[in-house]
Amino acid sequence: MKKIILDCDPGMDDSVAIAMAVKSPALSLLAVTAVNGNYPVDVTSKNALKMLELLGRTDIPVARGMARPMVRQSPKDPFTHGVDGQAENFLPEPKTALSGLHAVDLIIETIRANPHEVSILCTAPMTNLAVAFIKAPEIIPLVERVVAISGMFGLNEYAFLNATGDSPQSEWNVFVDPEAADVVYRSGVPLTLIGLDVATHFCVNFSQAELTALEQSPRGEARFLRQAIRFVNSRGFEAYCTVIDCLALGYAIDPTLIETKPFHVGVETKDGLTLGMTVRDGRHHHIWSELPLVEVGVWADYDRFLKQLMSLILA
Ligand code: BDR
Ligand code: CA
């Protein structure tokens, strides 16, 4: 089993990602760390607890993390995950307590206790990770890999069509805290970035039979996903919005689902039109080789991803 920490900001798709992490026999979820992002950290950490209670896994620690980006105010999300941050599923208030540790410290301690064994799946702004790497840089070489829903790399039309940050060419998780993304990208940690080119593809969709299966399932997490799809559809968005973060889980469970290629990439941290843009230097000549070299998702097997997702959620 692959040991993972899920660093997230639930968020409807983060919540479905928690369900995949808990239910996959290929993964061992050591901790959920919440951060400011889609909603303030009080909401995201509470939503993580709610989801784990729904799944009957209150043994997995949830820690509250950074309450704001490293150097900026938190922007307002142009997209909404509903008044509860969970697509208006209105899960019961959690009874479980948060971990006594700050998320940054839980990340540091978990990596120290499991050197070279833990992958961090980040489906949120990278504030918790950046602060952990600054506070305890010795953990960086001990991290197996960071797999993140992060950026957009101009690899196809979806990268720009479905830009989620509040600027023409940025992805939300980077846009919220570009300085944190810059720290993590440059940290030297083995890094796989699954950007919007892959994670907001319109091929991530559900057939009527799959929608019916979700609706009729006795599983709370299946009905959660069905309601999330209804919620985004009612606002004119496609179903893919409900499972963006799940691509990171899909990849962790089965790396053959997503093809990646190495690219030198950088993050724009200057204010203005391009704030939060992730730039991929794919030139043959004069390449800026000082930019960090990371793996970038270029294509996914969407049919297999949806099959994997459905079988986990319905199980
Ligand atoms: C990211 O934005 C958030 O709204 C989603 O949860 C996802 O992590 C995609 O850009
Ligand atoms: Ca998220």
Q: pLDDT tens digits, residue range 176-222? A: 999 999 999 999 999 999 999 999 887 888 999 999 999 999 999 99
Query: Does 315 map to a domain?
Result: no
Give the Å distance between the CA of 252 and the centre of ligand 2.
16
C-beta atoms surrounding 112 within 10 Å = 13
Task: Please state the atom number of ligand 1 nearest to the C-alpha of residue 10.
Answer: 6
Query: Does 214 map to a domain?
Result: no
Determine the structural domain holding residue 90 and report its residue range: 2-204+240-306
Q: In this predicted model, what pLDDT tens digit does every residue of 137-173 receive, in sequence order?
A: 999 999 999 999 999 999 988 888 888 888 888 999 9
Query: Does 109 map to a domain?
Result: yes
How high is the pLDDT of residue 164?
A: 86
Interatomic CA distance for residues 315 and 310, integer angstroms: 8
3-state SS, residue 115: coil
Instruction: Report the pLDDT averaged over residues 230-248.
Output: 95
Task: Please state the atom number of ligand 1 nearest to the C-alpha of residue 11.
Answer: 6
Give the Å distance between the CA of 5 and the centre of ligand 1.
18
How high is the pLDDT of residue 205?
A: 84
How high is the pLDDT of residue 79?
A: 81
Q: In this predicted model, what pLDDT tens digit does every residue of 79-138 receive, in sequence order?
A: 889 999 999 999 999 999 999 999 999 999 999 999 999 999 999 999 999 999 999 999
Instruction: Report the pLDDT averaged over residues 10-34.
Output: 98
The CATH number of the domain holding residue 30 is 3.90.245.10
Percentage of the chain modeled with pLDDT above 70:
100
Percentage of the chain modeled with pLDDT above 90:
90
How high is the pLDDT of residue 282?
A: 87
Query: Does 170 map to a domain?
Result: yes
Whether 149 is in the pocket of ligand 1, judged by its Cβ within 6 Å, is: yes
Contact 243, 221 (CB under 8 A): no
Cut 0.95: pTM above it: yes
3-state SS, residue 212: helix
Contact 164, 202 (CB under 8 A): no
Query: Does 296 map to a domain?
Result: yes
Give the Å distance between the CA of 59 and the centre of ligand 2.
22
Instruction: Report the pLDDT averaged over residues 289-298.
Output: 96
Interatomic CA distance for residues 233 and 239, integer angstroms: 7
Query: Does 231 map to a domain?
Result: no
Number of domains in the chain: 1
Whether 244 is in the pocket of ligand 1, judged by its Cβ within 6 Å, is: yes
How high is the pLDDT of residue 138?
A: 98
Closest-approaching ligand to the CA atom of 172? 1
Whether 171 is in the pocket of ligand 1, judged by its Cβ within 6 Å, is: yes
Query: Does 113 map to a domain?
Result: yes
The C-alpha R_g of the chain, in whole angstroms, comes to 18
Whether 245 is in the pocket of ligand 1, judged by its Cβ within 6 Å, is: yes
> How many residues are recorded in the chain?
315
Query: Does 230 map to a domain?
Result: no
How high is the pLDDT of residue 244?
A: 96
Give the Å distance between the CA of 286 and the centre of ligand 1.
33
How high is the pLDDT of residue 300?
A: 94
How high is the pLDDT of residue 78?
A: 77
